[in-house]
């Protein structure tokens, strides 16, 4: 199996560790194979968009999600290190408002599967980081939502000392209690 799959404390959020082949020349690994991903996770996903961002130390991006066009995301880091955070925003689920975080880095090569119905964000711990993610739906800015990164009701330990650098959009994000979230009405 090309991946080792480890469940997290949030149902359906998975850590994937690829098999890496290395020697004194360097390394090789298959970062994505649809058949192997589906077999390892039990999912049947079609990815339609790849995104690549570069950020400097202290940049915090998130917590983002899309309503009406929810996205599943497969994320990884190819340069540097981030602390990656996922929050369950499915109102009628037992883990609503709970979070899980993991370190993703170029060194550990771990990937994180984030299903639809979860908010996602990360903070850059290294001097800079390059972050890649595949999505199961396209980006629709009119449907994007953001939850405030430091919402005390969620209580995320970002594992970053200092004040993170935020975009204007992320600085103006709402508290979870005021957010439009996924519920039984189809959102």
**CA-CA distance, 75 to 82, in Å (whole number)?**
11
For the chain, the C-alpha Rg in angstroms (whole number) is 16
Assess contact for 41 and 14: CB atoms under 8 A.
yes
Kindly report whether the peptide bond that precedes residue 163 is cis, defined as omega within 30 degrees of 0: no
Which of 29, 52, 64, 103 is flagged as catalytic? 64
Which of 65, 110, 120, 133 is flagged as catalytic? 133
64 is catalytic: yes
Assess contact for 63 and 172: CB atoms under 8 A.
no
Helix, strand, coil % in the chain, rounded to nearest 5: 10, 45, 45
| Host H or E run for residue 168 | helix 168-171
65 is catalytic: no
**CA-CA distance, 40 to 18, in Å (whole number)?**
11
Assess contact for 63 and 101: CB atoms under 8 A.
no
Catalytically active residues, by annotation = 64, 133
């Amino acid at each position: 199996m090309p991946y080792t799959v480890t469940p997290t404390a949030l149902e359906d959020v998975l850590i994937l560790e690829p098999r890496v082949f290395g020697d004194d020349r360097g390394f090789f690994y298959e970062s994505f194979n649809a058949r192997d991903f589906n077999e390892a996770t039990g999912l049947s996903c079609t990815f339609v968009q790849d995104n690549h961002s570069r950020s400097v130390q202290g940049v915090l991006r998130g917590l983002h999600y899309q309503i009406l066009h929810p996205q599943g995301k497969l994320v990884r880091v190819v340069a540097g290190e981030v602390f990656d955070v996922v929050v369950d925003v499915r109102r009628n689920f037992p883990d609503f408002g709970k979070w899980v975080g993991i370190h993703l880095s170029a060194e550990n090569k771990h990937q994180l599967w984030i299903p639809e119905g979860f908010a996602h964000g990360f903070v850059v711990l290294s001097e800079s980081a390059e972050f890649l993610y595949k999505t199961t739906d396209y980006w629709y800015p009119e449907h994007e939502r953001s939850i405030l990164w430091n919402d005390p009701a969620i209580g995320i330990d970002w594992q970053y000392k200092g004040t993170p650098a935020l975009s204007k959009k992320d600085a103006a994000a709402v508290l979870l209690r005021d957010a439009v979230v996924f519920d039984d009405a189809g959102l």
